[in-house]
Chain A
């Protein structure tokens, strides 16, 4: 019996924006109420199917022959029309992209899931930077040892291994920060400069983008409250 059947019309998905009028017109795109263009108009704008030229019909025929029409299903977002010869990219450049998509993004992402995590390390006053793979260390201590060895020739004041180890001792922290000793800091994924050592090692490795060993007097500017 028809009256007991579910009113399919009401359950059917339509491209209607919030505030669309009820009643029989709810299936139409509510251009008037929201001012936004519906899907079909968007497609027309992109493909210029509503041509202004005098050869209107010809243009439409001509364009449609060369273009695979975008999907007319209004529930999906508008797909890009594929046109032969556009965009003007050489075949060998398309291949590079396909290969890049096939492989995992280990070359592109440094952190998380890849087998290495190279980050740059700078020491204030040193003439050049170094790179370390954080994944080969298991703890902050190992990292400090390695950094000390790397920069042993450029130690400024107490930036040697003792100086960094002292850093781990909170009671000496204030002395360090007030003096010209070194403070290891790092830039995290959000671009913020943080003090090394606050978070668990693994979290540090995942979020660290680069390391900077600052002079203690500068580190005060980080606004670290103790």
Chain B
């Protein structure tokens, strides 16, 4: 006789499991746990929209309230995925409209969202609360107007770095006068000016508003009006941060910012006039996150603002900060956890700022909690990388982009193999790594040997042969996502590690030497025609391999070819 807890008890216990991994693990224990878990799962995460179909998801999980779906591969951010590739959300929304009438949350990343999808969701989900669109495209401000007009219980409308066709700013005025539930509004990626009085009224009547990220079109002189109406704000993004020299703007800003005693995050800062930065100083003691990646001001002004934030955990900044500015971080921002330094002039032939590997070395030495780095620079050395690795074995994410492809160690002219080798050797918890510079097969030996927790690896212009790729695929036990561009990797490593590919979410290879594809869940992108139509020795343009239970795609564009079993047999 089997003793077990009543279902209700198990359900109650499962409700405490928030991580998808834990829920998935629980569902594998036994059939009854699988059944109980699937009926009480409220949140689902789909890392690749083509790995599964809406029908399969709905069949297994009938009572979902929140979905998060990712579409295009990461390299789509850099224009490597051709237009029209896919990742349309409409089939998901139309399926969910039928089966999840009580759906509350939709979070999408790198998906194509149409106005039709937005209108459908706004009219169908009566209790809809949260819409987060991250790096999405395909919709216009008309779609936003539907959301504003129809989602009576909306709490969050968060448009992060989306490409929106901006027809007008009128969409904001569609929020009804009796709409008061807004908690978070991020319109920073939009171009058009919204009606300022509509925005003011909206902010005034939503007492729970804690996040407000404005777009560039909102002028700095309007900020005090908004801040005064929302002193409870926790996250705030300015618009353009400059104006004609008028002293009362400054004093109004000072007053308004000093009234916001709960601010933790600041962003925006387009077109900054450094004279207006000090207006924020009173609000800076609580700041934990500062996004200055739009602020084209010089190092001293950047530093003056940053050092006002002793509790800073996350800093995004342009390389105007320079080595000199980064030196200030260990003294003033000891709690720094995440640093991202973006290039102000990535296509320039010569460096335009004095930012080198030294800046990163000093931060790594002096900020003991630093765990996440994204750094664009123009020179690097093995010595610096080794120092960084030794200073910060607690690094979790390390993404280094040396702008010149295949730039060697600038001191010794050697490859940067030992430097990156030190990173994977010392940083045992490393989850994500992006490499650049001159790299041979050696570095992949180090990675395969040491990077046991690595989940995502990005490589460009690296390696000499298939051995490099083979070391990664055979050695990195936790690898889920691998993206490769312009490396001399071919079929051998893929064929030898075909089983590994089944354990990963996806593999992307573009401008490599792959001719044959080892498994059936493979997409080949080739705008020149079907791979069979070219000589066998000709490599494919782009390869995207992912595991799926949904079978071949039904929405492929004409430049995507999926390799069927027969084709695999024919070519090999």
| A59 CB contact (under 8 Å) in B270, B458, B488 | B488
| B275 CB contact (under 8 Å) in A47, A54, A131 | A131
Nearest CB in chain A: distance from B313 CB, A: 22
Query: Once A and B bind, how many residue pairs between them come within 8 Å at the CB atom?
Result: 113
For the complex of A and B, the 10 pairs showing the least CB-CB separation, nearest first, are A85-B78, A85-B80, A53-B488, A66-B511, A88-B78, A100-B296, A87-B346, A59-B488, A118-B275, A53-B465
Can you report 26 residue pairs joining A to B where beta carbons are below 8 Å apart? A46-B406, A46-B407, A48-B406, A53-B488, A55-B513, A58-B539, A59-B513, A62-B539, A87-B346, A88-B77, A88-B401, A89-B343, A90-B161, A91-B79, A92-B161, A93-B342, A94-B346, A97-B344, A107-B242, A107-B272, A107-B273, A108-B297, A108-B298, A116-B245, A118-B274, A118-B275
Cβ-based interface call for B294 (8 A): yes
Q: Are A131 and B278 in contact (CB under 8 A)?
A: yes
Q: Are B465 and A85 in contact (CB under 8 A)?
A: no
Contacts of B458 in A (CB 8 A): 88
Contacts of B273 in A (CB 8 A): 107
- Which B residues are closer than 8 A to A by beta carbons? 75, 77-80, 161, 163, 189, 242, 245, 270-275, 278, 293-294, 296-298, 342-347, 349, 376, 401, 403-407, 434, 458, 460-461, 464-465, 485-486, 488, 490, 510-513, 537, 539
Q: Tell me the bound Cα distance from A3 to B342 in angstroms.
A: 61
Q: Are B404 and A46 in contact (CB under 8 A)?
A: yes
Nearest CB in chain A: distance from B227 CB, A: 22
Interface residues as binary, A17-55 with B (CB distance below 8 Å gives 1, 0 otherwise): 000000000000000000000000000011110011111
Contacts of B460 in A (CB 8 A): 86, 88
Interface residues as binary, A173-210 with B (CB distance below 8 Å gives 1, 0 otherwise): 00000000000000000000000000000000000000
Q: Which of A51, A66, A86, A93 is packed against the most chain B CB atoms within 10 Å?
A: A86
Contacts of B486 in A (CB 8 A): 62-63, 66, 83, 86
Q: Are B512 and A62 in contact (CB under 8 A)?
A: yes
- Which A residues are closer than 8 A to B by beta carbons? 45-48, 51-55, 58-59, 62-63, 65-66, 79-94, 96-97, 100, 107-108, 110, 115-116, 118, 131, 133
Contacts of A93 in B (CB 8 A): 293, 342
Q: Are A58 and B513 in contact (CB under 8 A)?
A: yes
Contacts of A54 in B (CB 8 A): 465
Closest A residue, CB atoms, query B161: A92
Closest B residue, CB atoms, query A89: B346
Q: Tell me the bound Cα distance from A108 to B296 in angstroms.
A: 7
Contacts of B406 in A (CB 8 A): 45-48
Q: Are A87 and B488 in contact (CB under 8 A)?
A: no
Q: Are A46 and B405 in contact (CB under 8 A)?
A: yes
Q: Are A83 and B405 in contact (CB under 8 A)?
A: yes
Q: Are A107 and B271 in contact (CB under 8 A)?
A: yes
| B349 CB contact (under 8 Å) in A53, A80, A91 | A80
Nearest CB in chain A: distance from B269 CB, A: 11
